[in-house]
């Protein structure tokens, strides 16, 4: 299929109200699949008059689509979760540098690069069974490789971006040799072969299938806010631990995005990115999907986040996390974490 036909099909497939050539638009490719993001899009259009046409799909599918569309892509902004995925888009040369005083002032330097920005945060926490594991023994990520946790650790695939970014943070702090030893020790402590998502790990810990697991905080907050009796029972059986509070702080995953080099509506793209750093949008991220704001001055009343208490966050640069993904994957492969 010719590039022109690909571009034409892409434009036709964007979900939006009919627009005239005079209308201001933003074409968004998003790998975020949260219904609560609807409030973000509606509020942005209300404030700016800019209509959002969007395609939502998996990040790999969207990246492949952007690759195929090339210079003819209609997309203005790409949103996804985790530094690993944003780093992949950057490696593909998809993002354009953005100069914005608003973004520079509101988003901390360690949570942005020259081409993409974090707009929400989620921590990688440790979840422990209250009766099978002494919480004092699992206060750090490094402790999960301790032989005393033999056959106690549940975790999802080592190829998943959440775990790759955690490994990148450990690599940044400790170097290759110690990170390799950590990954090897972790694998030796597996209670089962890696499978499922983070919610599955939490439930497995609660059921006693394993003693301890890693999970992103927004899954924990979601279950803490749940009215379902089964979710309440799960959370009654586990302890949530903020790792590395005496050293580097808890590892933070992020959700973010950037403007594409080929964006046909660059002014709209920058306005949208700036909007995502606004107080209104930051509150939507926190209240809607149990994520922490990246703008320090924004406070959230989310009961799930409040229930987990205050913590020290790791401030390693997100660009450094993205840059070490391939190296971490090799370390995990050598350790047998697949």
Q: Which residues are annotated as a binding site for Fe cation?
A: 33, 218-219
> 10 Å Cβ neighbour count for 91?
13
Beta bridge partners of 177: none
Known binding-site positions: 33, 218-219
Check: CB of residue 125 under 8 Å from CB of residue 253.
no
89: tokens are 């888009």
φ, ψ for residue 312 (rounded to 5)? Answer: -95, 130
- The alpha carbon torsion through 245, 247, 248, 251 (nearest 10 deg) reads -40
Strand 238-241 and strand 117-129: pairing? Answer: antiparallel
DSSP assigned state of 44: H
Buried b or exposed e, range 206-235, using 16+ CB within 10 angstroms: beebbbbbbbbbbbbbbbbeeeeeebeebb
Q: Do 324 and 310 form a contact (C-beta atoms < 8 A)? A: no
Cα dihedral 216, 221, 222, 228 sign: positive
């Amino acid at each position: 299929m010719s590039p022109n036909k690909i571009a034409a099909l892409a434009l036709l497939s964007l979900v939006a109200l009919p627009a005239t050539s005079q209308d201001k638009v933003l074409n968004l490719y998003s790998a975020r699949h949260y219904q609560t993001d609807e409030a973000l899009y509606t509020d942005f259009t209300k404030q700016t008059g800019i209509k959002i046409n969007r395609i939502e799909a998996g990040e790999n599918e969207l990246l492949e689509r952007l690759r195929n569309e090339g210079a003819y892509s209609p997309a203005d902004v790409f949103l996804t979760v985790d530094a690993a995925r944003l780093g992949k888009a950057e490696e593909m040369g998809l993002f354009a540098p953005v100069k914005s005083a608003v973004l520079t002032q509101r988003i901390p330097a360690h949570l942005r690069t020259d081409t993409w920005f974090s707009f929400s945060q989620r921590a990688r926490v440790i979840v422990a069974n209250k009766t099978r594991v002494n919480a004092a023994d699992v206060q750090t990520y490094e402790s999960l490789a301790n032989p005393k946790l033999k056959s106690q650790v549940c975790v999802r695939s080592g190829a998943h971006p959440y775990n790759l970014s955690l490994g990148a943070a450990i690599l940044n702090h400790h170097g290759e040799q110690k990170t390799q030893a950590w990954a090897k020790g972790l694998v030796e402590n597996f209670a089962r072969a890696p499978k499922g998502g983070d919610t599955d790990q939490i439930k497995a810990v609660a059921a006693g299938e394993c003693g301890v697991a890693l999970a992103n905080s927004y899954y924990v907050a979601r279950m803490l806010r749940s009215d379902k009796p089964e979710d309440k029972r799960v959370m009654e059986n586990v302890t949530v631990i903020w790792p590395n509070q005496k050293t580097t702080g808890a590892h933070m995953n992020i959700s973010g995005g950037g403007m594409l080099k080929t964006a046909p509506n660059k002014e709209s793209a920058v306005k949208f990115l700036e909007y995502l750093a606004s107080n209104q949008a930051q509150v939507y991220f926190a209240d809607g999907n149990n994520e922490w704001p990246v703008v320090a001055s924004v406070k959230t009343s989310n009961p799930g986040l409040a229930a987990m208490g205050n913590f020290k966050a790791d401030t390693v640069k997100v660009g450094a996390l993205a840059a070490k993904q391939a190296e971490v994957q090799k370390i995990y492969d050598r350790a047998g974490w697949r």
